Each structure stands twice: as C-alpha cells, then as structure tokens.
Chains A and B, each alone.
Chain A
Amino acid sequence: MKSALINKSDIRLLLKEASREWNIYAPLEVQGGDVNFCCLPKENIKEALNRVTLDDKWIPVPPKDLFFPQLESLFEIKKNKIEETVEYSKKLLFGIKACDYQGILFSDEFFKRTFQDNYYLSRTKDRLVIIKSCLTPPRQNACFCTSAKTGPFLDKDFDIQLVDIGEAYLVEIGSKRGEDFILKYKRFFKLCSNSEVDKALTVKEKAVDSIELKIDFSRAVELMKGKEPPEEIYKKIAQRCIHCGGCIYVCPTCTCFNVFDDKENEAMIRYRNWDTCVFEGFTREASGFNPRETKWLRASRRYEHKLWYDYKTTGKSGCVGCGRCLTSCPVELGMSKFIQEITA
C-alpha cells in the first residue's frame, strides 16, 4: 500500500484548499458541545474549520444522512408537471470512522442492488472518503468494532486512511481516487519513511487493544443461522422497548423508509423519510392484517435482519459495531447486549 505523511497542522489548510472543489463534510463541534458531521459552509469556511474535531469524539448520529437524509423529496408537482428533485454534489467526507465507512459501503451495495436508487446513488456519485480511525474508542463499553471486524482500522476498500502517529498522520492510500486526490494536493503531503510505517503499526495494535468490549459476533451469527433465539429473549426486549425508533434511526446500515405525499391546492410534494421496523404500522396492511403485529416479533426482526438475513444475502453482517443502538436507546437496549445475552 502506498503511504504518505501530513502534518496535523496542515489538515485544516488542506481542507480549506479542497473546499474550492468539494463540499466538505467533517465532524464539527456544534452548539451544546456535541460533535456531528456537518457540511462546512463555503462562505464561512475559516470559522467552521476551527470547529472541526480531530480527536476521537463520540458522534451520536452516523453520516448516513449525507446520502440518505432523514427526509427528502422525491419529486414535486410544478405547473402540473412532475419535477424530480435528485441532489448531486462533489462530496469530500473527512474524519469518517472505520465502522461508519463500513456502514456506508454496506448501504451503497444495498441501494445498487436489483433496482438502482437514483436519489442515493446521485448523492454518492462523486464521493471521496478520508477515514480517520480511532486510537481509543470514543465510547468505551459501546464501541465493539474489533468484534464486528469493522475497525478501528481498515486494510482495504477505502480511499484514504489517516493514522495518528503523534505530530503527523500517516496517510494510507487505498484507491485510485485517493491517489488522485493526494497528487492534486501534493503540496500538503510528504513522503514517509519505514520508521513511520512501523510506528503506525504499533499505534494500530494499541488501538485494537484499547477496545474493551468484546462480543462473540461470529458465534451470534452461527446461532442465528442454526436456530432462532428463544422467544423469551425477544419478549423481554419488547417489554422494555418504548418504540422510539432511535436504534434504527442511528444505525449506519438501516435504510428503511416511508413514502408519503404532502398536498395543498395545486402544490404537491412526494417525500420519503426514515422508517423503522419496530413500529407496528410498518407492516400493517390497509386491510388491518399485520404479519408482525406483536411487539416481540418486531423486536426480533431487527436482530435477525442484521445478524442473519444480511449475512445470508451479502456475506456480511449488517451490524458494524458502532454501538449507537445502545447509546441512543432510552432503556439501554442494544445489539451488543443482545449478542451477549444469546451467546452467554
């Protein structure tokens, strides 16, 4: 793999320069102190760059909404004609975590499968991702990427990956797109030596060790494959769940949506927005018939989908080990707890 170096102090300069060509999305500290992926406003780039976080901060919502927004219009009626509302822009995603990038790749595949989803694919069309992997888990006891085998570092399928080796980042180049980018902005990058590559290796090992939550992921998949976990486990979950939908809204690989119309007089917009399989109406037919009427059936759907059906169709689990389902759950349920329970 090709590698380079960039000084930490040059990151913001690079982003500033790149913002001429790209819409840049990066983890930004927002009002209230949360860190979220935001688009750096071109008109106020300097101020925004100061708020870009380079630390391993917890990011409560994954960057999936950059391509699959919570709400987006599919088309509008204007002057009696249907007008498509497909978005396109060149997007540079900076500071994405390995687990989240795996989520993006997973969703990419899904939206390409069988029928292509123009809205998603147009938003992802020109996309470059710079991964900045975590040295320490942003949320100890929530993160379990090492168990899900999605991080904290990737060894393939990425454009660019930054490894924090102290003063500088080791820049690993994983794709032609990544390489083109580095060449275009080469003045910010330096050659790297073997000692820096070695240093990165040590850093990576330490980062892997720093994640304390260990979950028997493959055993869980095996179990789901062979026999379903007992109803009692789902029923216990169902009794706790307050159906907020949070676990699904924040899941990097959850892509279900609802479609609905808004209309007043001549104006009309067709939207889609995030939907979740924990809601009773998700599968309720107009006739009132509902194949997943009971709460525990809906609780089971999510776990079985992520751990088994996704695996069956794609060879990959739909869970990337980001831990957000746990931290967004008002009653402290989550994938890691579920797996711990069924593998105990």
Chain B
Amino acid sequence: MAKVLTTCIYCGCGCGLYLISDRMKLIGAYPSQNHPVSKGCLCVKGWNSYEFVNNLQRLKKPLIKKNGKLQTVTWDKAIDRVARKFKEINKKHGPDALGFLSSAKTTNEENYLAMKLARAVFKTNNVDHCARLCHASTVAGLTAAFGSGAMTNSIEEFENAEVILVTGSDTTEQHPLIGSRIINAIDKGTTLIVIDPRKIELAKHAAIYAQPRFGADVAWINGMMNVIISEGLDAKEYIRERTEGYEELKELVKDYSLEYVEKIAGIPKDKLIDAARIYARAKKAMIVYTMGITQHTTGVDNVKSLANLAMLTGHVGFESTGVNPLRGQNNVQGACDVGALPDVYSGYQPVTNASIRKKFESAWGVKNLPDKAGLTVTEIIKSAGEGKIRGLYIIGENPVLSDPDSNQVRACLEKIEFLVVQDIFLSETAEYADVVLPAASYAEKDGTFTNTERRVQRIRKVINPPGQARADWQIICEVAERCGYKGMNYSRPSEIMDEIASVTPMYAGISYDRLEPFGLQWPCSTKEHPGTKFLHKDRFSKGKGTFSPRPYIPPNELPDEEYNFILSTGRTYWHWHTGTMTRRTSTLDREVPTAYVEIHPNDAQGLGIKKDDMLRVSSRRGRIELKARITEKSQEGSVFIPFHFKEAAANVLTNPAIDPIAKIPEYKVCAVKIEKL
C-alpha cells in the first residue's frame, strides 16, 4: 500500500490529494491537510478521483482502423503510421493542412511538447486546446486590460475580502473548494453579491442577489459603472495613476441609465444601485467569474467590462482585491501558459514576433518557424469539414461532445483524411480515428499542472499504466523522433520543465526541485524568486491598465415564436465535461445517471411537465430527448442542460456562433423549443 501526493485531475482549484495504491491498483484518494488549497478537504470528485483509473475499459493497446474497424497493432506500427501520414500530408498539402488539439487535462510538459511537435516538427501554428471553449475571452480581454489573462489573486485571499462579487460562476458546484471559502468568508464578515441568470446555491448566501437576463452582462456592468461614476465612487487617484482610457469609458457608460439597464437586463434599479455602492465602497473587493461571462459571442466584451469595473474602483493589484476568472480544467491555465495556443509560444510570447521566433528556433534547433497565427479549435474543426485540415492529432479531447453543434462536428471529423486520437478511453471522438493511441492517466505519470491561482504543482506517478499505454509526453516524443526530429529526447518530464523554464520568462525560476511540496505561483522569473501571490501589484503587467468601453450587443440567437426558450449549458457538480471519467466512477454516475434539463416550475406548469417527464428539446441544429428536472435555479423562459451525456448531448443544440476576437462559442445562449413526450 503506497500513498502518493499528487494534484487532483478535475477542476482548476488544484487540490492536493494522496492517491492510495495497492498491488498496482488505485484503492482510494484523500485530501492533503497541508496543501494550501485542499487543507484537509476535497469535493466529491476529488474523493472519488481514483476509481476511473482502474476501469477495465481503459485503452491498453494502440489501434489502427482497418476496413472501418479499429484493430490492435504494435506501438511501432501505430507510431509509424502517424509519422508517415503526417509527413505525407505535410508534403502534399503544406504544414497548415495539419492540426493539433492539445489538452487541458494533460500536463504542462505534454502541452509544451504538443505545441513543439506542431511548430518545430511540422511548422504549423495550428495548435489549440479547449481553453478556446472556456477562457479564450479572458485571455483576450484581461490581457488587453491588464496585460495578463490570469486570475489576479490566490485562493486563500477570498477569506479576507470585504466584498465578493460572483457572476457567471456556479462556484459551489464548479469550484467547490473556492465556493466553500466564499461561504466561510461570509461568516467572517464578507458581503457577497451574486449576479447570475441562474439562481445558484451561492445566491442563498448572498446579501444581494440579482438575476439578469442571459447575455445582458455588458449592460448591467455598464449600468453599475454609471452609478459609480455619477455617485462619485470611482477611484480617481488610482484611475489617474494606473490606468488609461477613462474618459471614453465615462462617455460610454452615461448611456446606461438605470431604466435602460432594467429594460435590457431585468435587474431592478435599487438592486443595481446597492450592488454598485457596496462593491465600489469596499476596500478589498474580488470579482469571481467563469463561463457565464466568457461563453458568449460578446465574451471578450463581458470580460473587458468586468476589468473596467474593477479598475474604475481601484480594485486590482492588492491582496484580496482583483478580478478572478476561475479556470475550469485542472490544467487549462498551464496549457495556455506553455503555448498550446495558435498565436503564442509558451509564456504568451507571440509567434508573430521575429525575435521571439528566433529564440525558439535556436532553442529547438530548427529554422523557419511559421510567423502567422494558426487556427483555433473551432476553426480547425470547421476547416476539417472544408477539406483544408487533412491531418488532425487530438490529445485527450472529445470535440464530438464538447464542441458546439455536435452533428456538424461529427460531419467534419468524417471528412478528415487522417485522424489520430490519443486518450485513456475510447471516446466518442476516438470512434472517428484512424489511429488510436492509448495514454497514461494522471496517476500513471509524472508532470505538473498549473491551477487557477497560477500554482505550478506536481503530479506524480503512483502506478504503471494499463497494458501498453504510455504517457502522452512519451508518445509525442516518439512521433517527433519518427518524423526525423532530433530535439525531443527527454528521459523524464523534469527535463521538459527545464526546457520550458529556459524559454519562458514567467516560468524561468521553476524546476522540479523547487516545486516541493506544493508548487510555485508564476510569475517566477528567477531560481530565487518566491513566486507571486497576486498580480499587478504597484503596476499592471502591461504598465497602465486600459479601459476598453464596450457597448451592449445582444446574443447571436434569441428566442422567437418557434424556438421560445433560452438554452444555457454547463456542468453539474457530479460530472466532468464529456463524462469519460466521472461516468466511470460509481458514486458520481449513480448520483446523476442520465441527462436532464432544468426548467422553472412556472414554465413546467405551463407546459404540463412533471418531474422526470421525458422532454424533447430542439434547436435549429438538432434535437435531444431527456428528463425534466423542475427547479427555481432556472430563470423563467430558460432551460439549462449539462453537456456530459452522449445519449442526450447538449451540444447537438448549441449555437456555433463565436466571439469575433476569442473565437469562443456562445454555449450560454441559444434558442430552443420544448415538447413533452
């Protein structure tokens, strides 16, 4: 029996836990007492994070599709096929006919290698990962405003905030160990403001809860700023010293009168005034947001508006004071940090910058790194359907369930000439693959994850992978080597981290020996740097903070007579994304075994719907059938469907319309109709 300290695989909280193994099987998981996030606690997913690893359905051997069927082959054959086909497509159609989807579930080292494979070996910037579907708006919006897209504060700082404003985040469900801190903070005197279209659990704990209409965020944020400015509550000195663009903001928000905001967003005037005053007057105020803000065609506008609000009140750059986009995936922060993005190398260094390219060319021993930004996740899938992307390498992602408009995604994947899927289970996406490569789970390899508070921390190998499965980093290196590239020889992941540190200023001080026991928070610029608890102290990362006033633009698809409900999608507490792990975890699967749609009691009554009735929900793109769950959590006129379930995949319905800058799809608003079956 061994107990190994590692980091949880689920959300961005990044709890420290011990995995317990017995005879090469995982038999349990429990929290680390000393870990700064978990502190002896875990959420239900953390407590049950061991079970799926043992599942007998794990992929154990490489597979190649022959006559339409996936058949077992040797590693040698599988790698050979991948290398040969990718080289062939590269030669025939050029590097940009290839695409790479990396994964926020794999390690920093593996994401770095994935982008290195794309860029150094195949000379394409077509590499991206699911951050595109969650916080692309944050990266674009906060980088423009502050110079960094990361959460500005640390998790431990929540308990000392005077005011916490939660919006577009179901924190207790999605970041339980942050949600719980918010609840505990209230006991110690923190005032909680929740502004969310869904009446989330935290709303019950809030001093002020306002329920805006879906997609009206820019409107109410502008309205709040209008109140703040007109009541003289703006932080004039801070604005003068640390920001630029205030006058334009002031000009824009003037139009957002209380009446106008109430009309658009449905927030009563008094509530908006109260919220604005409480937030503005607090010394230490933290904003918390997630997908409710980002997953819109106006995602970047929403983020910029929150940044405006925080800067207007001087609420960035201090302890327990800032803007905190909570990262969903365990390593979505890290996957972005190490450059699994089409426009930047590790450390957000732009591919368009010649001297940066030169640095990477010399580090990697290659020439002519591509100088134009590549395609994003959504664009890669679309291009595959158009025949432009011919070879696609997907690591640990499941776009068939996770991307909007599933039927379209399936059609695109059908068209790809050559698809490689590297995963721990045969996912819905893997069924379209020409080659399937069996990967090791988080318990079967070494590496690092970066959590939502920028904490780079270790995961550790507890047991061997099943059958012939291998760690993602090993597989990527083998593919690179088989393609004739000599620059990917590592005997262990720590060597990859050393390379990351050597080319990435914000990770420069990071090495495995310094990550004991609970990691370091970037920026960490030198081997002596202690890490950074909160960002933008004294000055913004980019110098002066920039106000970017944004006008309200309605969502891309709103209800009409036929499709008369708003659909919003997201996760439940019990499941993770496409369910490949949680639906193979008995407790979690038992709690929520089937897909459901949340509907407000008044709407249910109007349609004669009772609990557990089967409903058909249709959009212009498809339809699914699932059980009704009647709850006041849903706003009247709207329904909510979690996207975990393949048998009633929410993303069959969602709208692929994207934010023009971040290219993030509008998962949070589309129009559907409901029929009782």
Tell me if chains A and B make direct contact, with any CB pair below 8 A.
yes
Complex CA gap A271/B573 in Å reads 24
For A239, give the chain B residue with the smallest CB separation. B204
Question: Nearest Cβ distance between residue B242 and chain A, in whole angstroms?
Answer: 35
A279 to B47, CA, bound (A): 13
Please, how many angstroms separate the alpha-carbon atoms of A249 and B50 in the complex? 14
On chain A, the residues within 8 Å of B47 by CB distance are 244-246, 249
A243-281 vs B, CB cutoff 8 Å, 1 = contact: the mask equals 111100110000000101011100111010101000111
Distance between B56 CB and nearest chain A CB, rounded to angstroms:
4
Are the CB atoms of A280 and B591 closer together than 8 Å?
Answer: yes
Question: Contacting A262 at CB < 8 Å: which of B33, B54, B187?
Answer: B54
- For the complex, what is the distance from the CA of A38 to the CA of B80, rounded to whole Å? 44
Contact B41 A328 (CB under 8 A): yes
B44 near A243 (CB under 8 angstroms)? yes
Q: Does B517 contact A (CB under 8 A)?
A: yes
For B636, list chain A residues within 8 Å (CB): none
- Residue among A38, A244, A263, A281 making CB contact with B3, cutoff 8 Å: A38
Chain A contributes a number of interface residues (CB within 8 A of B) equal to 46
Any B CB within 8 A of the CB of A65 = yes
**Interface size, B (range):** 35 or more
A32 touching B5, Cβ below 8 Å? yes
With CB as the reference atom, state the residue of chain A lying closest to B179: A242
Assess whether B517 is in contact with A262, with CB atoms less than 8 Å apart. Answer: no
Inter-chain CA distance A249–B46, complex, in Å, is 12
Of the stretches B18-26, B136-144, B486-494, the one at the interface is B18-26
- Cα distance A19–B628 in the bound complex, in angstroms: 58
The residue in chain A whose Cβ has the minimal distance to the Cβ of B55 is: A262
B8 at the binding interface (Cβ < 8 Å): no
List chain B residues, Cβ under 8 A from A275. Answer: 587
Q: Are A246 and B42 in contact (CB under 8 A)?
A: yes
User: Please, how many angstroms separate the alpha-carbon atoms of A267 and B60 in the complex?
Assistant: 14
Whether A30 sits at the interface, judged by CB under 8 Å, is yes
Specify which chain B residues have a CB less than 8 angstroms from the CB of A262 in the assembled complex. Answer: 54-56
**Contact A279–B591 (Cβ < 8 Å):** yes
In the complex, the answer to whether B34 meets A34 with C-beta atoms within 8 Å is yes
Complex CA–CA separation, A36 to B44 (angstroms): 20
Q: B27 contacts A70, CB within 8 Å?
A: yes
In the complex, A258→B590 CA distance in Å?
10
Judge if B677 is at the interface, Cβ distance under 8 Å. Answer: no
Select from chain B the residue with minimum beta-carbon distance to A287: B612
Q: A60-B40, A275-B587, A328-B41 are in contact. Are A71 and B28 (CB under 8 A)?
A: yes
Are B4 and A31 closer than 8 Å at their CB atoms?
yes
Whether A32 lies near B35 (C-beta < 8 A) is yes
Segment 27-64 of A: residues with Cβ below 8 Å from B: 30-34, 36, 38-39, 58, 60-61
Give, as a whole number of angstroms, the nearest-CB distance from B675 to chain A: 21
Q: How far is the CA of A61 from the CA of B179 in the complex (A)?
A: 23
Chain B 469-503 interface mask (CB, 8 Å, partner A; 1/0): 00000000000000000000000000000000000
Q: Give A249 to B48 CA distance when docked, in angstroms.
A: 11
Q: How far is the CA of A38 from the CA of B591 in the complex (A)?
A: 31
Select B57's contact among A38, A71, A258, A264, beta carbons within 8 Å: A264
Q: In the complex, are the beta carbons of B180 and A330 less than 8 A apart?
A: yes
Assembled-state Cα–Cα distance A280/B592 (Å): 9
Q: Is B16 an interface residue when CB atoms closer than 8 A count as contact?
A: yes
Q: Is the CB of A34 within 8 A of B32?
A: yes
Contacts A258-B587, A258-B590; A328 near B31 (Cβ below 8 A): yes
Q: Judge if B662 is at the interface, Cβ distance under 8 Å.
A: no
Q: Is A69 located at the chain interface by the 8 A CB criterion? A: yes
Question: Is there a chain B Cβ closer than 8 Å to A105's Cβ?
Answer: no
Do residues B34 and A32 form an inter-chain contact, with CB atoms below 8 A?
Answer: yes
Q: Which of B4, B31, B33, B55 has the most CB of A within 10 A?
A: B33
Query: Known: A61-B30, A239-B204. Contact between A273 and B3, CB under 8 A?
Result: no
A39 in contact with B1 (CB, 8 Å) = yes
Quick one: closest B residue to A261, CB to CB? B586
What distance in Å separates the Cβ of A53 from its nearest Cβ neighbour in chain B? 13
Q: By CB atoms of chain B within 10 A, which of A61, A258, A267, A288 has the most?
A: A61
Do B177 and A330 have beta carbons less than 8 Å apart?
yes
Enumerate chain B residues within 8 angstroms of A243, measured Cβ to Cβ: 44, 573
Contact in complex: A246, B18 (CB < 8 Å): no
Distance in angstroms from B113 CB to nearest chain A CB is 26
Q: Are A281 and B183 in contact (CB under 8 A)?
A: no
Residue B468, interface by CB 8 Å: no
Complex A-B: 16 CB contacts under 8 Å = A32-B34, A33-B34, A60-B31, A70-B50, A71-B54, A242-B172, A242-B176, A244-B47, A244-B176, A245-B44, A246-B41, A264-B57, A275-B587, A328-B41, A330-B41, A331-B184
A-B complex: 5 closest residue pairs judged by Cβ atoms: A70-B28, A330-B180, A264-B56, A260-B586, A31-B5
Beyond A34-B5, A34-B33, A245-B587, 5 additional pairs, beta carbon < 8 A: A33-B517, A242-B180, A271-B586, A279-B44, A330-B41
